[in-house]
Amino acid sequence: MSDSLVIGTVRAFSNGRHIVVGRDGTAMHVLFDGEDKPKIGGDVVGLLRHDADGTARMTLKRSVTDAILEGRSRIFLAGTRPDLSARLLAKVLARSKTAVIAPGSGVSIERAPTTQDPDLDWAISTFRTEADRLSVALNVIDVQAVARAPWKAASLRELTLPADTEGNGRAMHDLSQLLRSGFHPDCNRMVEHISGLREISVNFVLPYSPFAGSTGFSRGIAAMDRGHFPLPALTISDARRLSSARYVALALAHSKLGAGANGQANVDQSRRASHMANCFADAAAVLAFVSSGGDVRVAEAYADLKESSLHFGRRAGRNTLHKDVLGEATHRSIRAALQPGVLARVSTARDIVAEAVKIARRTALPASRFHAEEDAPGEMESLSAATAARRISFNLRDASHADVQRVAETYRKELRELISLQGGSELAESRLVTFGGIHVPLRLSDVFDEETRGLSRPEAVIRKQETVGGLLADRSRLARRIRAGQSPDHEAPLEFGESFAP
Amino acid sequence: MEPGDIGSASQEIEIAFFLVSQDFSGGSCWVQLPKGCKAKVEAIGRDDEGGFLHMEDGNVLRMRAPGGQVEEFASDLDELLSKDEVVIQELDEFQTLRDEYPVGKVPYENRIGFGA
């Protein structure tokens, strides 16, 4: 039997039961669970359920909204100002508990405490107790549901919850950019100033890209160009777990890295602060991954991928790094988290987060490293990064045909699994063709074409191909575009994130 | 008041959203009442134009479908109105929660031109 929402007044206490009278006059003899007991004469809101013995049991809730948000719910925005409605709803949900958000049918959004996605569910379950304890409402986007759902910019507004209380639509803009760029994972926060106080909350967490696979994930972490193939034997599930845990943990960073016990840290205010948050999140992700039975070698490979970003992430012909590469270089924190002594100390989410804070403060790069206009790795760092890069990558450019074929089989196997994970959804498959295409390693595009040949080709891809074909046919126009350095807006293809090609 | 007669004075509601539980027998509707509105919400209903709140002073506050999606909005409203407990969370012009007004299950035949 499903639970009932009860709104009523406690009229008496008799034989160990409270007598609750509902608004329709119905009297119920109820046993209240939990530490909070009602007072005689008080109004109550609660969830009523009958146990196996037929005893009516009730759990008190602070409000109707609290009761509804405890389970799965659907949210609809109405009124003549849906932007203001969304803003109000954002404020309500900002004070709620962790949940997964997905597009619903019609004009609704679905919000549920759990998800069907096993890797995402693992990450949320791992950090949920700590997030609830810290009163951080993690609104994690169910990326698989979004990948399978039709969406456009207008329908994303409602999904960025709790978001945009700044009133400028920043969260919606950020989310639509992330989705258009192939679902790059992100943790998006807002800073709200209320009567001189600063309050930071999480707009949304986009935990991983459903189109990246383990190859795309590894290449992204290492800032690797298409001419290299990542060697670590990460499964797609490993990649999704590490990414989800990392971004869910990142959502806790502002609550844990403040100066005082209750202070919040604006982790986006400087590159050093952002680096510290990254160190915290990666240490927490690795601790969660290994302590729940994950392969230590996968976590070590994750550290190598991070370190090798200082090699692959260099600007062409210079010893400086692309934007954000240094801030993401968290290999020291990951390796510190993998020390046996540290692993032995963690058993709960609270332990994981506490250890990750200590590790981040101890191992983050000093502020002086972020003062220069362009970041640069030190001499020893460069050498070590180059060694790590050799450990975890295979150079496709200079490899023999036979070696490339061996790598191709690994890639083909992963691609097949990635396609099967799209659940047969035409929309998800067409997005895989679009966004998965940007992760195709050099000399392996034939494999990608063969494996995705049977999938529906999105109109956007066809249009893009026509644009490229047209440009190649008209060389003078191409030359003009190259000289201009940027394409006109009406010809701009989908935005495919940053390129780190050296 | 007769069915079909839902009051003479009618105003649009600017801010509204619904939360409908899929596990429990309840739903809530958050609405911002117009500036200066002192009357309490008496009932919630829907007709062909969308949703409406019937105020105790006889006035009607209307909720329009977002983006002209009238049919989807109508079915969303039906889902809300089919719940045993529908709670109207009234907000004043400063979006401060004014009151929680519970409305019981609204039978289908009372949804069109639902009145006192």
Rounded to an integer, what distance in angstroms lies between the CA atom of residue A110 and that of residue A101? 6
Contact (CB<8Å) A107/B17? no
pLDDT at A447: 94
pLDDT-derived band at A151, boundaries 50, 70, 90: low
Whether A336 shows a pLDDT value over 50: the answer reads yes
Cβ-based contacts of A73 with chain B (< 8 Å): 19-23
By Cβ distance, the residue of B69, B80, B102 closest to A107 is B69
| Best residue of B18, B44, B92, B101 to probe chain A, by most A CBs closer than 10 Å | B18
Task: Please state, rounded to an integer, the average pLDDT across all residues of chain A.
Answer: 82
B102 vs A contacts (CB less than 8 Å):
7, 23
CB A251 within 8 A of CB A278: no
Residue of B nearest to A158 (CA): B17
Of A159-168, A237-246, A252-261, A341-350, minimum mean pLDDT range: A159-168
Residue A398's Cβ-side half-sphere holds a number of Cα atoms within 13 Å equal to 3
Weakest-pLDDT range from A32-41, A48-57, A153-162:
A153-162
Closest in A23, A72, A89 to B23, CB measured: A72
Nearest to B42 by CA among B50, B14, A73, B31: B31
CB atoms within 10 A of CB A405: 13
In angstroms, the CA A482 to CA A338 distance is 47
pLDDT over 70, % of chain A = 79
Helices (H), A338-457: 340-345, 349-363, 379-392, 401-420, 426-431, 445-452
Which residues of chain A make contact with B17, given a CB cutoff of 8 A? Answer: 75-79, 85-86, 88-89
In this predicted structure, what is the pLDDT of residue B39? Answer: 86
The verdict on a CB contact (< 8 Å) between A65 and B28 is yes
Top-ranked range on mean pLDDT: pick from A146-160, A190-204, B39-53: B39-53
- Interchain CB distance below 8 Å, A74 and B22: yes
pLDDT at A491: 36
Write down the pLDDT at residue A186.
73
Q: Identify the pLDDT of residue B113.
A: 47
pLDDT digits (tens, 9 = 90+) for A202-247: 767 889 989 888 999 999 999 999 899 999 879 999 999 999 999 9
Indicate if the pLDDT at residue A426 is higher than 50: yes
Q: What would the mean pLDDT of A397-411 be, rounded to a whole number? A: 94
Which segment, A175-179, A291-295, A481-485, is predicted with the most confidence on average?
A: A291-295
Is residue A98 predicted with pLDDT exceeding 50? Answer: yes
Set of chain B residues whose Cβ sits within 8 Å of the Cβ of A74: 18-20, 22, 76, 79
Q: Quick one: which of B42, B53, B35 has its CA closest to B92?
A: B35
* DSSP percent split of chain A into helix, strand, coil, nearest 5: 50, 15, 35
